Amino acid sequence: MSERSLGKDLLGLESLTAEQITLILDTAEPFKEVSERPIKKVPTLRGKTIVNLFFEASTRTRISFEFAEKRLSADTVNVAALGSSVQKGETLVDTARNLEAMRIDMVVIRHPSSGAAQFLAERIRSNVVNAGDGTHEHPTQALLDLLTLRDKFGRIAGLKVCICGDVLHSRVARSNIWGLLKLGAEVAVCGPPSLMPLGIEELGVTVFRRIEDAIQWADVLNVLRLQLERMHAGFIPSLREYYRVFGVTVERLERAPKDLVILHPGPMNRGVEIDSRVADGPHSVILHQVTNGVAVRMAVLYLLAGGRPELAEAAKGKGEVAE
């Protein structure tokens, strides 16, 4: 796969090269400016139809994708599992094939099952963007985290990033680990053993058992949400106990040798994994992440829509000359 293209789909960061990740981040830069214009719209994807297929609750990601699509002038349709034929028992593939029969160009999918995005991508012609599949990957979230860190530090290589909390259930953690490692960052994870996947060290990350140790080591904390909806067994004694032992608090950050940058993919459980004073404090870049989310998603849609190398090759063969 050429480094200047992403291919047909964006399913995860595990399958991308460092060059492809950097291409997305570089492409996102000019898209930031589009959202600052008096008319926040460019005609790039005019005539393209994009379906946002959300089988799981989402506010930020869905709205962010929708803004990205609309600012590129694509036509969008939102399908939520609730209130659609999915409730009547239609399978994922049937839903997608029916949509494709209506001549759509792209599908953005959020699904509770790991691997759902790839399953779909292998069965339909449209471009597929993974907006979170089970506990597998959430590539655009990791990309916007990377873009935010690059804005803040000017680089990713050499940064020490600790991902804190519920790593077991987190697709954000997995995508971040792949992306950060590929771009040369040092990565650690920190959380209770019950929320740590077995063998996580094999990915090449350090494991901290105490949040204090993580804070001593890191330049950046990416604080994950405690995914209470996925916890059907007793993973933690209580939310108060979790906050007491693993909460990212002002008092703990004050003991750090340097100022840390705090990321959180949202939605936050204030007073559980993160102190409100930290979330709203000077070290938090949480809202910057949200702003960057739109730019990163515009870049991904743009690259996938035009990423047809065979056509680019054909155009070159015509002897086209740059004007």
Partner 1 sequence: MTGIRVLSNLASGMTVAHKRNSLLDARGFQRVLKRLAKEIADFFKSTAAEMEGPERPRLVLIGIQRRGVELAERLARLVEPMLGEPVATGALDITLYRDDLETIGPRPVVGETRIPESLDGKCVVIVDDVLYTGRTVRAALDELADFGRPARIGLCVLIDRGGRELPIQADIVGKRVKAKRGDRVDVLLNEVDGRDAVELVSGRAA
Residues in touch with partner 1 (CB under 8 A) = 4-5, 23, 26-27, 29-31, 33-34, 37-39, 41-44, 72, 302-303, 305-309, 311-312, 314-316, 319-323
* Partners of 261 in the β-ladder: 220
Q: Which is nearer to partner 1, 4 or 97 (CB)?
A: 4
Distance from C-alpha of 274 to C-alpha of 293, rounded to nearest angstrom: 21
Q: How far is the CB of 114 from partner 1 (least distance, A)?
A: 30
Could you tell me the smallest distance in angstroms from the CB atom of residue 289 to partner 1? 22
Smaller CB separation from partner 1, 5 or 114: 5
Nearest to partner 1 of 271, 306 (CB atom)? 306
Q: Which is nearer to partner 1, 37 or 123 (CB)?
A: 37
CB neighbour list of residue 165: distance below 8 Å, 6 or more residues apart = 190, 191, 195, 223, 224, 225, 226, 246, 273
Catalytic amino acids? 60-61, 88, 110, 138
Q: Identify the sign of the CA torsion 160, 166, 172, 174.
A: positive
**CA-CA distance, 205 to 186, in Å (whole number)?**
7
241 φ, ψ (degrees, to nearest 5): -65, -40
Q: Least distance in Å: CB of 152 to partner 1?
A: 21
Pairing of strands 220-223, 261-263: parallel
Q: Is 76 helix (H, G, I), strand (E, B) or coil?
A: strand
Fill in the DSSP letter of residue 236: S
- 161 forms beta bridges with 187, 220
Beta strands of the chain (E only): which ranges? 49-54, 75-80, 106-111, 127-133, 160-164, 186-190, 206-208, 220-223, 261-263
Burial of 63 (0-12, 13-18, 19+ CB in 10 A): middle
233-238 long-range Cβ contacts below 8 angstroms, 24+ apart? 235/166, 235/168, 235/192, 235/194, 235/195, 236/192, 236/194, 236/195
Question: Is 37 or 244 the residue whose CB approaches partner 1 more closely?
Answer: 37
Q: Which is nearer to partner 1, 124 or 305 (CB)?
A: 305
The phi, psi pair for 235, rounded to 5°, reads: -75, -35
Closest approach, Cβ 43 to partner 1, in A, equals: 6
Give the nearest distance from C-beta 198 to partner 1 in angstroms: 40
d(CA 130, CA 224): 19
